[in-house]
Amino acid sequence: MSSITKQLDSIFKPRTIAILGASDRPGKWGYEMVDRPLKTGFRGTIYPVNPNKKDILGLPSYRNVLDIPDQIDLAVIVAPASTAPKLMQDCVAKQVKGAIVISAGFAEAGKEGKALEDKVVKIAREGEIRFVGPNCMGIWSAAAQLNLCFPQAPQPGAIAFVSQSGTFGGYLSEIANAKGYGLSKFISIGNQADVTASEYLEYLAGDDETKAIVFYMEGFKDGKRFFQLAREVIKEKPIIIYKGGSTIAGARATLSHTASLAGSENVFEGMCRQIGLIRASEAIHSFEMAEALVGQPLPRGKRVAIMGSGGQGVVVTDACVSLGLEVPEFDSKTTSSLQELLPTHAPPAKNPVDFAGSYRTTLNETLVVEKLLSLDYIDGVITNVPVNPMIWGLKPVSTEADKALSDSIEASLQAARRFAALPQQYNKPVVTMRFRRTDDPTIDILKDAGIPVYDTPEQAARAMYALVKYAEARGVNESDSLPQRAP
């Protein structure tokens, strides 16, 4: 076990937590820090600490952390900033292993707050306590089912999200969760008074539950160390970053927000390009790209084959080309063989492939995608979710009269399972777009296999772009024998 893993496991995998400043009044931070883990399945024991209460939300309340009869892995401090030094000193005396300081009013508030923050840091370091924050929203950790941030726990997954903004990061996490992008961790890092961005990166690099790492950052307190470490981490895991404070006005705002200096935009962009960090141009794009990177094989190049109905294929093609991807025209032999799988009135399959709006089966589309993946001059495929009869308004039934329909649906699902196996079979990525419906069981089959499903052509193109950029960062090219990437 590495040093950073040993230090931070008490924060992300605690068995006992103490809430210092716990409250029984809804709407108070002290209430939320007890209520959220209590309602969302925290696997350990919660100890509220409030000298004026005998119990909080049905749990015994303690006057001081020192009065708790159990060893405490994690202390969550939600009391006023002025009390933080004394509370941290109590944690040291109790031999608490880690802490999260939610409270604001530290370096982001000015010189007096900075002096107070420095005092807390000094106490914590002398007592060998690592802590998150201050001025943060807390964390979510799937490993312990510990949720301090959200009304409902996120869907567990393989994406870790580190955010310098608590409220904005929490908002993005909820959007990502609604879209089905599961999180292994969410960390609101606040002022980074103790644990810094590079240390979170180092910890997540060794976290078996995390396969892709997303950062929202405004400024770095240890930028040199971060980029040095990132250069090594991307050899194993992709890093996607969205940076605030890229304009002069935005940089000014970061100083009052999280006490951070945004730094030079040109320098930051140059470092990302040099190291191979994938930079998102919009915040939610980070998760769209991470979702593909979590489960898909890396492409050997940037040549993409596209299958989509009419305008869908046209827009995907434009989006790919605008991102620097290539959409090569198929050779005549390939066009001829694909035409045998298409309706007679479909246009010649030149790339993209167009079914011309005709009814087709999941098997038809699976055979086309399989053919595209077999081409040595195609590195990845973007296609629609293969059609299931239920997409057309048909429902599965069990009556004998409709047995043919039930058989058709089952055949479609079998073909979908065949489709879902194609990326690993050919060791090339497949990215899909859904049609109007979201309750098609085909989607679940694809997602279970690690194939991402998006709503728009632009999202699908960005996902393929991210796979290409990460392959370039890893030094992958056409001559390489790519490792399989398990979903």
Which pLDDT score is estimated for 221?
Answer: 84
Which pLDDT score is estimated for 482?
Answer: 42
- The angle subtended at Cα 143 by Cα 40 and Cα 48, nearest 5°, is 50
Cβ-contact 188, 136 below 8 angstroms:
yes
Which pLDDT score is estimated for 93?
Answer: 98
Cβ-contact 430, 487 below 8 angstroms:
no
Which pLDDT score is estimated for 293?
Answer: 98
Cβ-contact 426, 377 below 8 angstroms:
no
User: How many Å apart are CA 482 and CA 426, to the nearest integer?
Assistant: 10
User: How many Å apart are CA 464 and CA 462, to the nearest integer?
Assistant: 5
Domain residue spans of the chain = 1-134, 154-295, 297-473
Cβ-contact 410, 402 below 8 angstroms:
no
154-295: CATH superfamily: Succinyl-CoA synthetase domains (3.40.50.261)
User: How many Å apart are CA 253 and CA 240, to the nearest integer?
Assistant: 23
User: How many Å apart are CA 457 and CA 226, to the nearest integer?
Assistant: 33
Which pLDDT score is estimated for 406?
Answer: 76
Structure tokens at 138: 């807390």
Residues of the chain with pLDDT under 70: 1, 245-263, 357-359, 389-402, 404-405, 436-438, 477-487
Cβ-contact 72, 78 below 8 angstroms:
no
What's domain 1-134's architecture? 3-Layer(aba) Sandwich (3.40)
Greatest extent of the chain over all pairs of C-alpha atoms, in Å: 81
- Domain 1-134 matches domain 154-295 at the CATH topology level: yes
Which pLDDT score is estimated for 429?
Answer: 98
What's domain 297-473's architecture? 3-Layer(aba) Sandwich (3.40)
Which pLDDT score is estimated for 355?
Answer: 84
pTM of the predicted structure, to 2 decimals: 0.91
Phi, psi of 456 (to 5 degrees): -135, 155
